[in-house]
A and B are shown apart, each in its own frame.
Chain A
Amino acid sequence: MRGLAAIVRRDLRLALRQGMDSVMVVAFFVLATMLFPFGVGPDANLLARIGAGVGWVAALLASLLALERLFQADYEDGSLELLALSPLPLEGIVLAKVGAHWLTTGLPLIVASPLIALLMNVGAEGCGALVLTLLIGTTTLSLIGAVGAALTLGARRGGVLLSLLVLPLYIPTLIFGVGTVAAVIDGFPAWANVMMLAAIAVGALALCPWAAAAALRQALE
């Protein structure tokens, strides 16, 4: 446990000292959302209707943007090999790295999402629902993304390939995330959607570290 906490601390420190990752991710998130009022016109009612979906899609793409670097730097400088040789289980290491990655890229998105809700005229209830669903959903996105990032380690055209692998698997999370916000805005009970979202998150938490660790072992062979 202490070893895993050390990995989380190390990754956080690296992200704070050298990385602009968090800033870039949030900047992309806000910019991508900003394009929509220009694209579909600044009609407040229209923006309110599509706002939650746009926010979710932008958050999904922003988290995809940061995924490629999840294992890449450690793979290139060889520290991933040392981590794999340590007595810690590789699944735990994956979980620790995903946790650190979520803290540096997922959490800033959630913090920035009320701003998106404001820009898109979503309203107070919709904003609360957006924050809550992103809180559950971005963990799933990070976990599924870790599998894709591990599978494409060392591949040619890794970034494009990663999005081809990961985006289809993101769709269920997106559906239930947006479904929750839409239900809350329209005044329908939203708990079924929230529970599905949480169920996907728990399933991903149980399965993804194993798959990602298996893929990492293949990359290090």
Chain B
Amino acid sequence: MLKIVLQPDAFSRLGAKASPWLAGITAVLLTAGVFLALFVSPPDFRQSESVRIMYVHVPAAWMSLFCYTFMAAAGGAALVWRAPLAHMAAEATAPVGAAFTLLALATGSLWGKPMWGAWWVWDARLTSELILLFLYLGFIALNTAFDDPTRGARAAATLAVVGIVMVPIIKYSVDWWSTLHQPASVLRMSGPTIAAEMLVPLLIMAVGYTTFFLYVLLIRMATLLNNARIRALRQRQVRTGWEAAR
């Protein structure tokens, strides 16, 4: 395990082997999840058909927090052990997490219009999710803001670790403040309060989102690794060029 985490080549081999499996599992899960969500699960007795937005919205919101936690953990590990792969994991996660956050905000807005009568309300959950989007954007901007890529990666990793204080605030915002957004109904101490016919497709979608994230993460990390290899080769080329000229 340690070898895979520390050695880029071992990681590349593992990634090449795992990614087709992950792609297949993701395709099966998302197809099954969408089918169950759109055709099998019952309409809500108050929200009728528009409840089906939930199967896209809720897993996206979960993933937005999961990706941030993952990114901050990778960033923290990168700062402590100075592991380039951990930096790459954090860097590869940021745009994916930002996309999940944007998806959660957009689907939430589409859901809010028929249910609350407004595209956007300034309640605690929506506002804190918007802050999360800006944290992702700040991470991406800081990562590329320096001439020295290592300095950018380390600064961005520090920002990710600092921003982790927002994650519990977002998770519990609906419980701490009484807001328009409904409180947690799946991940709670006393068990879910959602009907099983709705819970099963929701969980299938959630697992599908997670495997999708892992699949994209592997692809993006492989790209970043190849970029780093190309950079190293170019630098070697320049050096040997100089030596030949001398």
Interface residues of A (CB under 8 A from B): 147, 151-152, 154-158, 161, 164-165, 167-169, 171-172, 203, 207, 211, 214-215, 218-219, 221
Give 5 A-B contacts (CB < 8 Å), ordered by A residue.
A154-B151, A155-B142, A158-B145, A165-B142, A219-B155
A202 to chain B, nearest CB (A): 13
Which residues of B sit under 8 angstroms from A156, Cβ to Cβ?
Answer: 145-147
Bound-complex Cα distance A215 to B166 (A) = 19
Q: Is the CB of B134 within 8 A of A164?
A: yes
Q: How many residues of B contact A (CB 8 A)?
A: 24
Bound-complex Cα distance A172 to B131 (A) = 10
B203 to chain A, nearest CB (A): 31
Which residues of A sit under 8 angstroms from B158, Cβ to Cβ?
Answer: 151, 211, 214-215, 218
Q: Is the CB of B162 within 8 A of A147?
A: yes
Q: Is the CB of B159 within 8 A of A151?
A: yes
Which residues of B sit under 8 angstroms from A147, Cβ to Cβ?
Answer: 162
Which residues of B sit under 8 angstroms from A168, Cβ to Cβ?
Answer: 131, 134-135, 138
Q: Which of A151, A169, A221 contacts B142 (CB 8 A)?
A: A151
Q: Is the CB of B163 within 8 A of A172?
A: no
Q: Is the contact region of chain B dominated by helix, strand, or loop, or is it mixed? A: helix
Among all A-B residue pairs, the 10 with the closest Cβ atoms: A155-B145, A168-B134, A168-B131, A165-B138, A151-B155, A218-B154, A211-B162, A164-B138, A215-B158, A156-B145
Q: Is the CB of B134 within 8 A of A161?
A: no
Interface residues of B (CB under 8 A from A): 79, 127, 131, 134-135, 137-138, 141-142, 145-147, 151-152, 154-155, 158-159, 161-163, 165-166, 169
B181 to chain A, nearest CB (A): 16
Which residues of A sit under 8 angstroms from B169, Cβ to Cβ?
Answer: 172
Q: Is the CB of A161 within 8 A of B142?
A: yes
Q: Which residue of A lies closest to B163 (CB)?
A: A169
A176 to chain B, nearest CB (A): 12
